Chain A
């Protein structure tokens, strides 16, 4: 009984807190999620949109995007951006495939994530030390990594013949729940915790909001920016592991087209493109929205061209709603 009262009070406090510091902007993504889900559920009832297997499908599709989105949320929070995630996915899938064959699934996954860490460190160091915007640095490394991935196996896909790897990172499941979904939940939990409960997360936000002030407060903004870019790359490489696990291959074009989807997911989720504001839960929900749109529009039988148009329109509306400027949202905060 007491517990209930306390939980209620906590919820109320949390709600008050939320509506004070960001207005309703940050709820747009959840509202959009529910509305899109409802619309598809009604329109596509007979096509089995809500069937367990289709929902699982959506979850599997969303998983790598969500993992990348969580990483990207940190890059954006620190007022950087990481355009190299797509090629990092590809390279780590290939590295995983190569390493799994020789050293087993554990080393395979570790090597892939190591690739991510190295890419992120390079992105971060160049951005910070050479003082080039991360937008340009990662545009460059995007090309470089993509080229390396293409050379690695002469544009051929590399099979992964490890049941353990596939079961653990993609094809397997725990009860009815795909391991992809479980990994995504773990990444979400870690990201959310790091952003809201660790000093590091707070320092990332401070650095992204106002680097000069953060520096004047004594933060090592260089190190923080490097670490945020590393988180983004490591997340991308883990997404590469998940894709490799699901498809049982490493290939040079995995993740190639995911960059814009990821950015859309993160921004719909309430993370600012300009730093200082981020939501991990929003990013994951944004990824779910993207996967749901993909799935629903296909089930509706739209041509590919019309799918693209419909998806683009919905994204613009969602982003417009979630990106209202702070000055407008001030009105929400006046009691």
Chain B
């Protein structure tokens, strides 16, 4: 048995009086999609932000491939191979598609001097942006448009494209299909499946139970900041999942 790709232990996080996360533990594995479920305000986004280095948890640890790390910033998370699509922090509206895709990953030219001063290699980024989006089946009318002028679905697609383009080993997706039309949402599910098949560990936050049964292997349910259930998707029904989310039903299969 190999170590989980990502394992969270006893994580807690409070915002003043609000205990957003309390003693949450979960594992996600390579080649699997794990759903993270819960009602509004259950703490899902907070958990993702703690893993991604956006927030610092009050207590608890994050291990990647069995090794515990302190994720002190989003940069550290990235370096460790964790890529995130946040619920609403993903893109910079006034930058264009290429600039967003390569934000903080810019290619430079001019050798080591160029890389020291950060001389942008714009042409290469344009080219690779086009190639990447094409590879992911994302079609955007113009890569030069500020993403603020694109539709919600197009923006979402770019945000996901950015997360999956880099061959990371762990991808966290916070409601990636929320703003998408039917066809685009299906695209996203295809992308997720492709990631899974490429042996990436995926954590998928969603409110859509159909998606859970379609693509997820396991599911973790949060309720008021605590873990309410941890199940294998093929052993429960959608109704069970909903019951866990609303608190109508509880288990303790997680330990």
Residues of chain A at the chain B interface (Cβ within 8 Å): 16-17, 20-21, 197-200, 202-203, 205-206, 209-210, 212-220, 276-277, 326, 330, 333
Among candidates B54, B77, B95, B119, residue contacting A206 with C-beta atoms closer than 8 Å = B95
Q: Are B103 and A217 in contact (CB under 8 A)?
A: yes
Q: With A213-B91, A218-B104 in contact, do A198 and B96 touch (Cβ < 8 Å)? A: no
Contact of B144 among A20, A199, A205, A217 (CB under 8 A): A20
Nearest Cβ distance between residue A38 and chain B, in whole angstroms? 32
**What's the dominant secondary structure at chain A's contact region?**
helix
Q: How far is the CA of A199 from the CA of B103 in the complex (A)?
A: 9
List B contacts of A197 (CB < 8 A).
119-120, 122
A181 to B4, CA, bound (A): 63
Q: Are B120 and A276 in contact (CB under 8 A)?
A: no
Of the listed residues B52, B77, B108, B146, the one surrounded by the most CB atoms of chain A closer than 10 A to its CB is B146
Is B145 an interface position by the 8 A CB rule?
yes
Please tell me if the beta carbons of A218 and B75 are within 8 angstroms of each other in the complex.
yes
Bound-complex Cα distance A335 to B93 (A): 20
Q: Which residues of B contact A277 (CB under 8 A)?
A: 94
Q: How far is the CA of A202 from the CA of B135 in the complex (A)?
A: 26
Residue pair B149, A213 in contact (C-beta under 8 Å): no
**Inter-chain contact A216/B119, CB cutoff 8 Å:** no
Q: Which residues of B contact A212 (CB under 8 A)?
A: 89
Is the CB of B84 closer than 8 A to any CB of chain A? yes
Q: Are B99 and A218 in contact (CB under 8 A)?
A: no
Q: Which residues of chain B are within 8 angstroms of A213 by Cβ–Cβ distance?
A: 89-92
Is there an interface contact between B78 and A218, defined as CB atoms closer than 8 Å? Answer: yes
State the total of A-B contacts with C-beta under 8 angstroms.
Answer: 81
Contact A333/B145 with A199-B108, A216-B52 known, Cβ cut-off 8 Å = yes
In the complex, are the beta carbons of A21 and B118 less than 8 A apart?
no
- In the complex, which residues of chain A have a beta carbon less than 8 angstroms from the beta carbon of B77? 218
**Chain B minimum-CB-distance residue to A334:** B149
**Across the two chains, which residue of chain A brings its CB closest to B108?**
A199
Q: Is B104 touching A219 in the complex (CB atoms < 8 A)?
A: yes
A198-B118, A217-B104 known; A206 vs B142 contact (CB < 8 Å): no
A213 to B159, CA, bound (A): 11
Instruction: Please give, as numbers and ranges, the residues of chain B lying within 8 Å of A203 by CB-CB distance.
Output: 104
Do the beta carbons of A330 and B92 come within 8 Å of each other? no
The answer to whether A210 and B93 touch across the interface, beta carbons within 8 angstroms, is yes
* Residues of B bordering A, CB below 8 Å: 52, 54, 73-75, 77-78, 84, 86, 89-96, 99, 103-104, 106, 108, 117-120, 122, 142, 144-146, 148-149
Q: Are A200 and B118 in contact (CB under 8 A)?
A: yes
A208's nearest neighbour on chain B, judged by CB, is B94
A270 to chain B, nearest CB (A): 12
Tell me which of A16, A17, A215 contacts B74 (CB under 8 A): A215
Nearest CB to that of A206 among chain B residues? B92
**Beyond A205-B94, A213-B89, 20 extra complex contacts between A and B, CB < 8 Å:** A16-B144, A17-B144, A21-B145, A197-B120, A198-B117, A198-B118, A198-B120, A202-B99, A205-B95, A206-B103, A213-B92, A216-B54, A217-B104, A218-B73, A218-B75, A218-B77, A218-B78, A220-B73, A220-B75, A276-B93
Residues of B within 8 A of A217 (CB): 74, 92, 103-104
Distance in Å from the Cβ of A247 to the closest Cβ of chain B? Answer: 35
Give chain A nearest CB distance to B160 CB in angstroms.
Answer: 14
Asked if A215 and B94 sit within 8 Å, CB to CB, the answer is no
A330 touches B95 (CB 8 A): no
Q: Once the chains bind, are A218 and B74 in contact (CB under 8 Å)? A: yes
Neighbouring B residues of A330 by C-beta, 8 Å: 149
Q: Are B120 and A199 in contact (CB under 8 A)?
A: yes
Q: Give Cα distance in the complex from A327 to B193, angstroms.
A: 37
Would you give the shortest CB distance from A331 to chain B, in whole angstroms?
11
Query: A21, B144: Cβ atoms under 8 Å?
Result: yes
- Chain A residue nearest in CB terms to B54: A216
Partner of B93, one of A17, A198, A209, A219: A209
Assess whether A326 is in contact with B144, with CB atoms less than 8 Å apart.
Answer: no
Asked if A326 and B104 sit within 8 Å, CB to CB, the answer is no
**B84: chain A residues within 8 A (beta carbon):** 216
Measured CB to CB, the closest approach of chain A to B117, in angstroms, equals 6
Chain A nearest Cβ from B237, distance in angstroms = 36
Q: Which residues of B contact A17 (CB under 8 A)?
A: 144
Q: How far is the CA of A197 from the CA of B86 in the complex (A)?
A: 28
Find the A residue at minimum CB distance from B95: A206
Residue of A nearest to B146 (CB): A21
Interface centre among A199, A205, A330 (most CB of B within 10 A): A199
Write the nearest CB–CB distance from B164 to chain A, whole angstroms: 15
Question: CB-CB < 8 A to A20: which residues of B?
Answer: 142, 144-145
Across-interface contacts of B108 in A (CB, < 8 A): 199
Alpha-carbon gap, A53 to B22, bound state (A): 74
For residue A17, which residue of chain B has the nearest CB? Answer: B144
Separation in Å of the B132 CB from the closest CB of chain A? 17
Q: Report Cα–Cα, A219/B78, bound state, in Å.
A: 11
A-B residue pairs in contact (CB < 8 Å), sample of 21: A20-B142, A21-B145, A197-B122, A199-B118, A205-B92, A209-B92, A209-B94, A209-B95, A210-B93, A212-B89, A213-B89, A213-B90, A214-B92, A216-B86, A217-B92, A217-B103, A218-B77, A219-B104, A220-B73, A276-B92, A276-B93
Query: A216 CA to B54 CA in the complex, in Å?
Result: 6
Q: In this complex, which of B92, B118, B146 has the most chain A Cβ atoms within 10 angstroms of its Cβ?
A: B92
A residues in contact with B52, CB < 8 Å: 216
